[in-house]
Structure 1
Amino acid sequence: MGSLPRKVSHSANNPNLHYLATGGGPNTAMYKRGSSGSAGDCVSLRSISSEDLSYVDVEQHCCAKASNPAYKRGRRLQLMQMLILPFIPIMALIVQTSIILQGTLMYRNEVMDIETQVTIATDLGKVVTKLQLERSEVAFFIYTNGSNSRSNFSHRFEVTNEALTNMTTWPPVALPQENGKTVYLNKSEFLDRREEFRDRQKISSDESSISEVLDWYTAVNAAMLEHLTNQIKETDNSGVWRLLIAFKNLLRSIESMGISSVYGVKYFSYGILDNENYTSYVRYDTLGKDLLNGTLNYVPSMKDTYKALMKSMPHYGRIKNNSDIILRNRRRAPNKDEAIDYFDSITTYTEELRKLQTELRRKIREYVNETLSDASNKEAIGIAILVVVLALSPVIIILVRNAVATIQMYAANLAVKARELKKEKRKSDSLLFQMLPPSVATQLKQTRQVPAEYYAAVTVYFSDIVGFTEIAAESSPLEVVTFLNSIYKLFDERIECYDVYKVETIGDSYMVASGLPVKNGDKHVSEIATMALDLLAASTLFRIPRRQCERLQIRCGVHTGPVVAGIVGSKMPRYCLFGDTVNTASRMESTGDALRIHISLEMKKALDAVGGFRTEYRGLVDVKGKGMMETYWLTCKDGGIARNMAIDQPEFYEDAEPVFMRRLRDECYI
């Protein structure tokens, strides 16, 4: 074969992950990483990318499976997370609505309790009012010396008895005893004591003691009013507390004015009040007015009502005039008519105040009813919100679950497509790595440029078929292609056992190099020498087309030295070798003999340094472009060639597929 140019392109083998024979028996081969000949971990025969490695590593970790929706465990975990996510605000809304609803119910119960308290206080106030009227009638009867023109005791007592009977609850009434102690009476005991008091005092007699009468009625009313004010709680949880305080103050104001009116009747009946009675009158009259002013201050809207009542009341000015007269307490002639007139005016005034009390009670009821209505509305809204939330919660959970299931299905399909894409990528990478070295191809894909690199020591191998021109002339093109394909498939399968890199096949020329693109120290010499002997032995198994009696003969040439390697071109980039070493190796092949391995002096010295190979001196050879060169024949290797596996030789027309291609193809479909 003629000389080759100094620039040679190639087809790529895999120098990063190769199958290395160690020189032992057929079972001593092991998988190693091709970097300076150091031992590495067991890896796949073919070259794999970093994405493939990361993909394998990720799939082998349980934690990755737990977080990957492509796996069943990951889908369950993701579904749980997605269900918890809407469940948290739903539960928060349910809890918040429940708390608000509970607060509304408590507020409503408080307002209803206030309504109950005011109702009880109203019933108790009716009894107090009847007792006040009874006390006024008794006092008027006594101070007018038995005049009954304004009194009807039987009717008055019956009205009081009816009010006492209608009471649903009975307050703890504490009455003072003659020995200074206090006794608490229940309802029946109180009724018995009241009848006994009426009979014992003989109210219809002139000998009745007014002090004892007033003390008895005052004690009873004071006990009931104390219980009444205790029943009405002054609470800040609602705006009704001002109305409640005003209601209690008005009740006490009427009571104080009723007591002071007794002393007023006595003044007009007797003409003068002693110091004790005068002091009592001033105290109760002032207390009644202050409590009335407090009521009007707590409820300013009642002032207009009070003024309207006073304007409509006849002889209101006479009440103030009589009050001023009593406060001066000047002796005057007793006058029953003035006493009757004062009694009538005070009774009318207290009746007007009781109208004010009724109006205030109406305001309290309206406020309570409005508050209860508002509380009921809030309660209904709260219950409606709670029902809606509880009803929608399963719907939301189901929708979220369906959405998550859809997403997971999409993720699973996407994972399947991703795996298929990775398989296709591996196929394309396998094809690319047959055209370019994996390290160079990876760098070219990442940076789109690979700078040329200088290699100080590389061994280059060339071989071609002896008489290929005549063989091609005698055979059809299809037979030639099939013949070359069978040979090179066998060669490709054999070189996988060595740390070598297939550079190129041009026609019948087969080019292999060792020591690039991954440097391996001095191993490139022994690797190429062993491979050359192996390929030479294997080539003799083939028969020549249409010459079945003849065996295939190849011519081999080897040289070692420096080269420069780099990518040339952008459309179809090729990894090319440059340097005199390539040209010299080609000349060694072209000047060699059939079934012989022709090596240079540099190669012979390198083999001697490595040891284990036998060579034969050929002599001086005239090499085109180089002149006379001292060359040698590589004859054999001490101990024979290590075979890692038994390889079935293909028949001539069999489409034999190399082992590395079958492995690449099978792994792509795993």
Structure 2
Amino acid sequence: MSNYYYSQSCISDRYTKKENDSQSTTTSSDSRSQEDDSIQDGMNDEPNEICAASSCLVPNGKNKQLVKMMTLILLPIFVLIALAISDLITTVRRSIDATETRRNVRLSQQVGSIIHSLQRERDMTALYISSLLEKNGPERKTFLIDTYPMTDEVLQTIDDWPVEGTRAYQKFKNKQEMVNFLFKYRLTLDNRNTTMYQVIHFYTDAIQIFIDWFNESVGKSGGQGVWETLVAYQLLIVGMEQIGIERTLGAVFFTQGGFQQTDYLWYMEKLQVGESNIKSSQKYSSLVSSILDERVSQVKYDFQTTISKMRREISQNDMNRLPSWQDGNWWFDNMTIYIDTLHEIQSQMAVIILSRLDEAMKADTASLSTGICIMVVVIIIGIVIFKAVESLTSSIQDYTFILADQTKELKTEKRRTDTLLYQMLPKSVAESLKRHQNVKAVSYSSATIMFSDIVEFTRICSESTPFQVVDMLNNVYTVFDKYIDKYDVYKVETIGDAYMVASGIPKRNGNNHGSEIALLALDLLRCIKSVGIPHKPGYSMTIRIGIHTGAVVAGIVGSKMPRYCLFGETVNLASKMESSGLPNRIQISETTHKILLDIGGFLMNKRGEVLIKGRGTVLTHWLLQDTSAVIPSQSTSAPSQVFNFKLPGQCNI
């Protein structure tokens, strides 16, 4: 067998071993002829294009060009105007949302005060009912009556009322209905057998109506950058309600000397839910913790320690303890300090939220003014540019067509020539030919060549139309070509489904040609999994890849249609590495294996002896992966040999 092979002949020889490959070769040759014909036709059509351009000199052509130029110039201005209008609309909407949020927060302050007043009246009423049999019952009645005017006064300060459709509106159409409802309940408090639990449920239901109203109002707000604080604000109010019920139940515990099982579970539920909401509000906003710490530090008495101690006593629920009005009062007073502190935190948070919303509204106003100014300036500039361009377009067109006649042919011809040369030849070789330099054949002592082939390509072609085959190959090689620029490689040839790439030529790169081809092959093997066949949905495309390293000779063949070709036994053996490989595997020769071992960073698996026609048995290996990130300690794959190798700067394992 000859020692030197032309790359195209080597590929064609391999194709003769497949059934019906003569048809594929004919298709490839026809595509080359069509490409050459299209280039020639383009050159012949150039005078027609120049004639078409000269038609722009007539009045109708000038008007068309004027419209095009004006469109290109004014289009960015129209886009700027549209963006300015969009920004203005967004700013206005944000300002409206901020105003609505501000109104809702102000309303929530009043609702919070009502809730706080109703909580205090509920707790005082519950204590009064539980003390009717005690000697200090009349005294507690006096304290209870004193809370009524405070609740009514706070109720009258509300500037708004729930709208129709809300739960609060269904219960109370206006403030007066709410006042009458409370007044009737207070009058009949002593005239019937009212229990403490009925009192708690009565006021709790009324308070829940206002909490629902508050949640609906604040929930409709856009947040305007303070949504975390608003959530903390809501959680704080809900937590205060639960703690208020805990205050009542705890007072009952001490005055009665213990809890029944249901009352105990009720108390523990309110304790856990209330404290959970308070802690959650602290997580959403650090304002809660900071204000709470500040308020606690201002109170000389450590009420938190007392509350914690008494909570432990309630949690133990010792049924043998004696009733104590003193302990009940002491619990009530400490919890009142705690709830009042939370109410002050709520009020301060509302003030802070309003302050932030005011700042946001000021910023929106400034942004709105700026947006209006920008839009006005853009419109003025657009009008000025329109007038200027309109007056200058005619003269520009005259100079444009004169210069176009002189330069268009030269640029077009140069671009086509360069494109044609770079498709057939390496850029360095093409540049030498353009400078009329003689390009001699060059011998390369070491270069790496890769062949790839689509598995079952003949069968796929037999099941596809020629147009479908062209589309399929175009999809595959378009993807492959994207990886070429990532590495120091040169695409030598593509014939049918064959893809030939080399490294180390025409630019020598030491021994790096082995790693460059290896990395490219691994990339192609990975990317082929994502490449589908348009006319065969669900079909998984596979390829075989073969790599060999050795000496080659590269040179220019032909003068009418010069080709940059590779010659030598290395080309033939690289092709055999591919044809004797397996689908979705990369088979490399022993010489390539040695180079990759010296470079390091690749995982390879020994395949064994493979029979190669004309060469006998040849030792080959599988290239598995790039291990530049990690060093494999031991292979768990096939029983064949797996090499542990070094990375640059590291020792062999």
Q: Comparing both structures, which one devotes a greater share of its residues to helix?
A: 2
* TM-score of the pair, normalised by structure 2: 0.49
* TM-score of the pair, normalised by structure 1: 0.47
Structure 1 or 2, whichever has the larger Rg, is 1
